[in-house]
Structure 1
């Protein structure tokens, strides 16, 4: 059983008002009154797709966002929403890199204010499509070969598969983040890592990818599941279920910091799915699933969401 320092949860709440991690004196009174502050929690609406689908540029993703007042005193009267667009690419030396076209902040997408602001812990819905993201980033440029000359992101020799109908391709990933403004003039634009990844009912962004459907064209092959635990004591009840023609087999990391398992899916398989099963300390859990072709079709963590795992099949199904 894990034991955290006595100030751990106090530090989580105090971190809400800090732009960087601070040190706490272990000798301080552990019964510190929680500082006031606000954070937010975003998640996909129950009936929403959770990724962009290649070729379906006008379909919306719907994200429910709620703001939360820690002490019940502060109230939010404005939320600014920003969209980030990152692109995986390979440089001239064949190194895999990431182009963060919106930097760390992203591009401004919308403000929610006035009568559109929900009450504390109530949802407001943000809708976004590929067309919306393209409109934000259509003028973006990037120096892919590091020669001092930036190329258009959506029209260049490095990514000829980008077209008017499919501006986004495999390897693109997206997220939204937010800034909260309170009625007394405070601005909350970043939170401690504990709030973003470990505090229940809180996060700092919602992320997704572009996918090419969820049916693997050639399911019969070997799949390598790589599992890691940052604490080094195994997955504590978490697992990955592999569902082959409605027959479920569970795989987990029983102990240690890392491990792999190879799952052989037999010829004649008609349906294949992967599911993540939540354990006691999901914030320590990361995983990836790789096919025989060497394509990583899924990865998750820390704190991966429970349920069916969304697969990235754009390269696998080519």
Structure 2
């Protein structure tokens, strides 16, 4: 009985393999046979850039095409190309600059050569400048998100023609045929805008919360040391998303917050550099206070770059390149009943760079021997302490020394968040040393 089953299984596998092979053959026949699907204009290679940007119109796009028909290329007459422009911004002096497809070139059969697979191949290339000149669109009206569309049609000597509208999905999207008959080239902004928040992008509304200044490092690189861009504008919005029962809406519409001249920013490795440091008072503005906020409200900052020729580069959606949000939250304590276990990092700084002048931090776990952290000399020091599982007490104290206005510390919890910060303090060199408890807040 087992032998009979094996015979059935073997026969079934053979039938499946035969069917699969026949299926592949049918796909090829569907593409290469008949009046309406008898040709493939296959993409063999793309060189140059697959996207353009708003500055460098000398950028070139180049594609190598391979033609295949039922007579292995004997039917080809020519390939005609059209170019079009899709304005996805609808801004600027001329409004909507969208241009419908217009003639952009021809490759006659005589310019095809026989490639390494025995089929006709030819190259087609163009620069962004050539495309815009043909379209009649000035470079100053091209913005990020616009597209330049290249379409082509294959003509046979018997009068038949093939383009993207004629090709099936198997042809336009298949890995073997790879014959899209069309390329949509995105226009990028040509600017590397790097944005790094070095503190926190949340405002903690819980009692006794640690809220530092909102600090950001920005790098702007147009590959020309900033000569192609002129201005950085920063816009602020407040959204009251938790309107109370009285219906009072404290939202504030977008308004210009700060402006920077790009040429005035520091230049490092070809990029313009800017460090921002906003206190809560600066973020709140004249009308808001911490007590006005509820969890769920947020502040939005939109960054806008004005190019040297007057174009505007920006985005206006969350988590996009030029748009950032400061959220509100409330700490859920993880160390409310017992010390939170794990490794803590103590970072010390002396703003003058000559040590902590007798000041120190002391850590005691479950009444054991204290661990002391200080800066004997120099500007910075860093150390760690570990709270074991099951610990019942953790005492952290700061003892003052001389020149207290130079001393700064922060303690990082096992989750990588700041559990405590302190300093610089008021200077009183006559004050005696006093150990003051440092409260740690380990939040979820």
TM-score (norm 1): 0.39
TM-score (norm 2): 0.29
Structure possessing the higher radius of gyration over alpha carbons:
2
Which protein has the bigger helix share?
2
Larger RCO, structures 1/2 (Cα 8 Å, 6+ apart): 1
Which protein has the bigger strand share?
2
